[in-house]
Structure 1
Amino acid sequence: MEPKREVSSVDLMALTRELSGYTGAKVDKAYLYDDDLIRLKMREYDRGRVELLIEVGETKRAHVARPEHVPEAPGRPPNFAKMLRNRIAGADFAAVRQHGFDRILEFEFRRGDADTTIVAELFGEGNLAVLDEAGEVVDSLQTIRLQSRTVAPGSQYGFPQSRVNPLEVDFESFVSHMEDSDTDVVRTLATQLNLGGLYGEEICTRADVEKSLDIADASEDEYERLFDAIQRLVDPIAAGETESRVYYEDDRRVDVTPMALEEYAHLQSEAFDSFNEALDDYFTNLEPDEDETTAAESGGPDFEGDIEQRERIIAQQEAAIEEFEADAEAEREKAKLVYGNYDLVDEVLSTVREAREAGHGWDDIEATLAEGAEAGIEAAEAVVDVDAADGMVTVRLDDHEIRLDPRHGVEKNADRLYTEAKRIEEKRDGALAAIEDTREELAELERRQAEWQARDEEEETDEEAEDVDWLSRSSIPVRKPETWYDRFRWFRTSDGFLVIGGRNADQNEEIVQKYMEPTDRFFHAQAHGGPVTVLKTSEPSEPSKDIDVPDRSLEEAAQFAVTYSTVWKDGKFSGDAYMVDPEQVSKTPESGEFLEKGGFAIRGDRTYFEDTPVGCAVGIICEPETRVIGGPPTAIEDRAETSVRLEPGRYAQGDAAKRMYREFRERFADTSFVRKVASPDEIQLFMPPGGSRMVE
């Protein structure tokens, strides 16, 4: 038996009630260990020192610990711990609650100048978010950006979709949830009722119901016993009447529960006065998991294993979706066949129904139909089976065998088949939603893996990074990731905002229609023939967010719009640009006007950037990636290891690019590196149209 490493929803129900007894304690300090363990040191009038531990990594727990069980204070506190201290030092611990019946705890802290909520996600990958009074995320251990929810600094905290709370389900709803399942009783209790595997088994044992009993075979009496067993399990816990136990197998701790469980009657156990004490004892003495040890030795979590698991799940879900679609189509085809063979089906149903009403048994009816088939009666030949137990007959129409209920007419039988098709399609829709969630989890795992690998690389080179002279290094590793915006004109402003521009009319259309969000900013040079320029306030994978953009970034975006327009091509050194909101940009022309491809109608007031100087610098960056960058000099020169500034001049674009390439080769000792990342063709992608010259 593998030791438990995560608290369950039932555990949190018991724990929440006990932790509420610590409200009123005052926070002294906050500590962060290993990026996943938070320690809140508090003082309480009656109890004195109170140590609250919240762990959200491979092990997921929350409880008050005895002082001797608390790890020593780490060295220099990381930024997250500093932020937490600034917000809650001196605050009162005001409340704790479980979010629904989910594995989420909310801790509220109140202080005269600000209130703070800490949300501990004790499920999945685990996370901890710090929220302000408005529910906005101040900071979080992990950033989550999914279609279903967002947990990121500056955004409203998004709870995951709540699952069924068995404490709030009456008997009728309980039966409905159970009957929605297509598996056995114990799995249905674990998943549909959100009770988990252990407590699903415990309820079956207490109710004396076979765990492997198929839901389709469960009786109302068994449902009543199961429902009663749930109440007998959770009601004492909700009332604070716990019988906490730590269970042992082969002299090692394997589980901790707020109640004595019949499922563990064969195990040695130790009783505790409170569930909190039991949790403290269990997790303090929990032996390291082999996977955790391997992860620590290898330098990180097993992302590959988790990614492979999600990929397997996606493959299974895709297969299930295909099966649902095929089954639904088959049911619809059956319904169409029933209507298409109306007279024949009606004759079969009428014959069987009249025979039953006349008192004939199913055996007699089956024998009569067999005789009719031998005599060549078409309706009788269509019948391939008579099911006396269910009172159904099966007919073969074309290549389909279709079960029919003789108690009803053709229309009701066909409607039943259409209804079944809709039910299967609903299951398909559920599977589609589930596969999207799994894909988001996969994407999140891949993002975290990339972050972990990048952090490892950063840590390896951090000590020497500040002193690296990339220009003089004889060998520079090439690290050039592909990004979705590489094919456009692009740069990042001094404040980190992505700005993209079209290279032609097709890209202008694409940027506006596909990549421009309601909260972005749209720029264009006043001169004809400039690129559509969009300053992104969020990445395409992120939710759109309305934020203030610094004037410096707006001015750089305006300069970009002017520089890559015909202003530069005409040899001018300045021009005008304007900015509007995306909602002001339209493909519908004014009456009597015509819009060229790549052109747009602008309606409403504009913000003008007059006499904006043209400006372009092209440079090479070596950290954290190796590539050419180009754009307004103020945005490029501080980021690049080395750069060249351009102005309108007499050299054709290709010739100027070759001159810059030779210049970069002279600056870098590793000339092969320049050839790999900054060829003339690559440099030319970042240059304005028309003639240029290098500024000395």
Structure 2
Amino acid sequence: MKNRFKTLDLIAIIPELKEKLIGNRVYQVYDVDNKTYLIRFTKPTSTTSAEDEISKQILIIESGIRIHLTEYDWPKNTTPSGFTMKLRKHLKNKRLEAINQIQNDRVVDLQFGSGEYANHIILELFSKGNIVLTDNNYVILSFLRHFKNDNFKVNISVNEKYPVLLDGYFNSDSRISKNQIADIIFNSKERDFRKLFNPHFIYGSHLMEHSLMEISDMKTMNNFKISENDLELLEKVFKHAESLVDEMRKSQSKGYLVVRMETNDSETVAINDEFHPFRYKQFESIADNLLEFESFNKAVDVFFSNIEMQKIKSKSLQNEKQAIKKLEAFKKDHESRVETLTKLQEIDDQKASLIENNIELVDSAIMVLRSAIANKFSWSNIAEMVKDAQEQDDPIASKIKELKLEKNSFTMLLNDPYDETCCEPMNVDIDIDLSAYANAKKFYDHRKDAVKKVQKTINHSEQAYKNVEKKIKQQLKENSIKTTIVMSKKILWFEKFFWFISSEGFIVIAGRDAQQNELIVKRYLDKNDIYVHANIHGATSVVIKNHTDGEIPPKTLNEAANMAVCYSASWDSKVISNAYWVYSHQIQKTAPTGQYLSVGSFMIRGKKNFIPLQNLILGFGILFRIDDESLERRQQSRLTTEQNEILKENDEEKESFPDTVISYKNLVEQSYDKRSENDVTIVNTGENVKKKVKIFTQKDAKRKTNQEQRIKEKIKKKNRKDKMKTEVNTDVNQSDQTVQRIHN
């Protein structure tokens, strides 16, 4: 399987990259893994047509493997690597100025910016590969892989100069002369064409074979052997190959995928095996397994994306298997614990039953040991006493198997005296401080505790199992979301607005806010379009895009009017309103003298054509994309349906009165007179700006009270001053009057 670019692939991909990327600016850089990086480009346009929306391209580069544009949505690391941050720092918002292949080797030079502010990305696709970031003088700023070659004095490290112009380091001359062909033949014993010339021809064996088959009209290469008489033929072959390469450098190439069919588990699966920029003649025998694409970039994108999908699928299956193993291990652990507790219940129950069935024997053994301890026998003496009694076949001592006096207990071998076949004899630990019945009760209590533990274990384990299962499923779901590669959907220009496609196939758009209302009228309202607005303050601007030279049908006008009314205050108030439409030339942004038009507001000059009241009804639909073959069938079906409807209408016209044809221009509620041409209406669109609601806190209340008190005190002071001034003026007036009387 072919899994990396060769020299010919690089030659074929560069013309398409130049056409689509030169002049675009870097929007952002992402890393998929430690070798694969995504560079998102944007190209803002200066035109105002709806079709020239901002174009976005994503370039994917993988060290040592490939470089191409991708239409798939690749998973990105949430935390960018250090190398990614370095690329963002030096490349963001810079324009891509040039894409060149260094000499004839598998090395690409991408120049971002110009002059002293330029930066270069050098992508190496040979050996282990590398990605190198340099400045305008090719001084290395950062790199993926350190490399040193003492023979050519090459050192890929920071502050070293990248060997762009170093002679002999890269493949430079690709042409093979007649003398070189002769030297290759005479100096080698190999006579197989591919093995002999493949090391000397940098464009690959497929192109050599194709050229040889075209020049010599051979149908197969299986029996062809090189001889000394083939010099002229081989010279023509290599010249023909060079001419094909020169054509590839000048124009875009189509892409081809070689598909291999494999059968796994009674299922046949198509696997992409190779990608090529040329339909080679030797592929005529496998034409059924050859897929053709409109461009080489498209073929490469599909090839590597499918490979990555297969890797992700296998990784996902592996994660699922590990998750299933975890759940099974958890379940087994839970079952083993329950089984252990259940066995303990049975054992405790058996021990208690054995004690009850041998109650006198157990009590006698307890009394003997208590008596020995009470008489202050040492533990060793008690053990010797029990041993002597066992030798004399004492029925009590013979049942004692072990003394555990340090634990104040001993072990007895008990069996069921009433049914010796029911179970085997069992060792039972007896507590000396307790009676036989008390020892039996102790085992019954242990059994009850074990029953409770089993129930608790079952309840807790079931809940824990559900939690673990839920957590694992959530992790698998998150991993599947993060690692799934899907074809990225291209956002059409009208999808950022409110939009729908009318019954007659017209696109109708409406603004989501005042800024979009402004944008719709200024940028997207063309000559033949119709502007629709609800007869209510603050409604959205609605534009019907007319892709024909004719008039907009009344049904589309009604549907657009319905949209305008529903996206207005009528929807919240649940009060129906009417709408009107005008031509695009009636919409102006120039305000009358002394007035101001805010963002999203416009002035309508002339007659407004009112449309009847609209119902507050909205719906939604699912838009399916069909292939070209289905499109042709649907178009043919639609034409047949329209023809049948016309024939049906003609048949009905013969049996009915003739219809009166009325133009929609006359279907308006507003009367038309001479003054309507001079009417001026200011339309305010978009939602009104809502005032922020201030929360009145306790501090605000206290502050307000203090402020009112200060104001009252100021008023009191002012009143006192005014009163004092009045009193002083009164005294002065009285004094003046007194002086006047005395003077008189």
Name which structure has the greater RCO, CA cutoff 8 Å, separation 6+: 2
Q: Which structure has greater helix proportion?
A: 2
User: Does TM, normalized by the shorter one, top 0.5?
Assistant: no
Bigger Rg, structure 1 or 2: 2
- TM-score normalized by the length of structure 2: 0.36
TM-score, length basis structure 1: 0.38
